[in-house]
Structure 1
Amino acid sequence: MTTTREKDVVELLVDQHNQIRQMFGEMDQAQGERKRQVFEDIVRMLAIHETAEEEVVHPVSARVINAGQQIVEQRLHEEDQAKHMLAELYDLGPDKPEFDIRFQALKNAVLQHAEREERDEFSQLREKVDADQLRRMADAVRLAEKTAPTRPHPKTPESAIGNILAGPPLAVFDRVRDAMRKATKGRKD
């Protein structure tokens, strides 16, 4: 009987980065309603992913890795910029002419951010944190994702405490809005 080891936090987040890269590739090819759906999937994935990182990963990184606080502050700044860009794109909508150019700027910023996280933060976490804690952190990320907002909220603080306080109410609001949008999709009022 073969047992499979559960993913640790680094493996989980790198897998999510790869999913995001794949979604960006799909977005480059999408048109019409498919483009809107892929964009909504990207918005949801990025909002949930970044919230979980801010709540679980960045606080540990700030404590244990070399220059951790500086690295985390840089990543938080990038995440804040991406939230603003994503919120503007969400309000604009993928059917507007200027959307594609602005989306490419977001895509480039997010991909560069992911590369820096993997290189500067995740690699050091792997070195400095034991395997059991990395697996527990993955569980904490999964739990944080369940209560994370599904839309960017650029006015919320870029911190674990800020996300823990603001995240659940925003998540309820976002998830109700998502359900209403899904239920009314296709209706012409």
Structure 2
Amino acid sequence: MTKDLISEVIEDHNVVKDLICRYRKETDPKEQQKIANTIVRELSVHSATEEICAYPLIEKHLSDGKKIADKNREEHLQLKKDLYQLDSMKVPDEGYGDLFKRVIEEFEHHIQEEEKETYPKLKASLADDLLMKEGEKYEKTRNSVPTRPHPSAPDKPPFETAVGMVQAPVDKTYDQVRDFVETNRGKI
């Protein structure tokens, strides 16, 4: 069932938060790796989808929207760079734990601002029917974006969308040889 845009974004956040809790509780490095792979995938998909669907609305409908969207894109870029590095490492590698911790801190800081400030402002600025329509768009877009971090890719539509359409099938092929865990949303 489709939700409104903001509920879709927050559901993405909650999926990652759940995965982080699972990672922290897990003691088996093989299971930790599966969870970490899933976190990288979920954050990659979320970042691209949010940049394509939500940030243009923020820019258009909030008085300080361009500033907010640009700041969020900068935060996403740093997260993508760290995810890219994390994606090339394994849980037992030296430095993995510190980098993983930094990724989680970046994510938690980023979503706190979005959930407490940005998205409540956006909700107040948009009609419910538009939020539902944009939620449908978000859900569809989510299934067509890259599943791995690409920090050098464009971060604004239409270029991000075009590059993503080319890169997503490559990423999904690569995903076939990686291990993931189920999320509370199911499989991508």
What TM-score do you get using the length of structure 2 for normalisation?
0.90
Q: How does 1:21-60 map to 2 (within 5 A)?
A: 21-30=17-26, 31-60=28-57
**Can you give the 5+ residue segments of structure 2 that lack an aligned partner in the other structure?**
180-188
Q: Over the residues paired in the alignment, what is the CA RMSD in angstroms?
A: 1.3
**Can you give the 5+ residue segments of structure 1 that lack an aligned partner in the other structure?**
183-189
Q: Tell me what 1:8 maps to.
A: 4
Paired letter, 1:112? H
Q: Tell me what 1:20 maps to.
A: 16
Say which structure is richer in helix.
Answer: 1
Q: Tell me what 2:150 maps to.
A: 153
For residues 136-180 of structure 1, give each alpha carbon's deviation from its aligned partner in whole angstroms, at most 9, with x where no partner exists.
111111111111101000110111222211001110000111124
Q: Does the 8 Å CA contact 2:2/2:139 hold for their aligned counterparts?
A: no
Q: Tell me what 1:110 maps to.
A: 107
Equivalent residue of 1:111, what SS?
helix
Paired letter, 1:125? L
Find the structure with the greater CA-based Rg.
1
Structure 1's consecutive aligned runs of 4 or more residues displaced over 4 angstroms after TM superposition are none
Q: What's the offset of the Cα at 1:49? A: 0.8
Equivalent residue of 1:160, what SS?
coil
Instruction: Give the count of matched residue pairs.
Output: 178
Paired letter, 2:32? K
For residues 69-128 of structure 1, give each alpha carbon's deviation from its aligned partner in whole angstroms, at most 9, with x where no partner exists.
000000000000000000001112212131111111110011100111112321111000
Report percent identity of matched pairs.
21
Paired letter, 2:94? P
Q: Tell me what 2:134 maps to.
A: 137
Paired letter, 2:5? V
Q: What's the offset of the Cα at 1:6? A: 4.5
1:119 equivalenced with 2:116 (yes/no): yes
Q: What's the offset of the Cα at 1:17? A: 0.8
Q: Distance in 2 between matches of 1:119 and 1:160?
A: 25
Q: Does the 8 Å CA contact 1:20/1:45 hold for their aligned counterparts?
A: yes
